[in-house]
Amino acid sequence: RALLNLLGRTVPISFSSTGFSLSRGTPEDCQRRGGFCSSGSCPPGIARVGLCSLHDFCCR
């Protein structure tokens, strides 16, 4: 049980620290990271690296 409790605390931290979560920001933050904002989804072959707004993704 203690092991499950420990895993429950460390797995979300490891995912967020290794880039599995989308970082929230502004269009300016996205451009600073070398990305661009796209409404709805990113074009094929382009990865989502963050969020520009509630409906716009930061793509790179």
Q: How far is CA 35 from the centre of its chain?
A: 12
pTM greater than 0.75 (yes/no): no
From CA 29, how far away is CA 33, in angstroms rounded?
6
CA gap 34, 15 in Å, rounded: 22
Domains of the chain in sequence order: 22-60 (3.10.360.10)
CB contact at 8 A, 4 and 32: no
For the chain, 60 residues long, give each residue's pLDDT as a single digit of tens.
Answer: 665 555 566 555 444 444 556 667 899 999 999 999 999 999 999 999 999 999 999 999
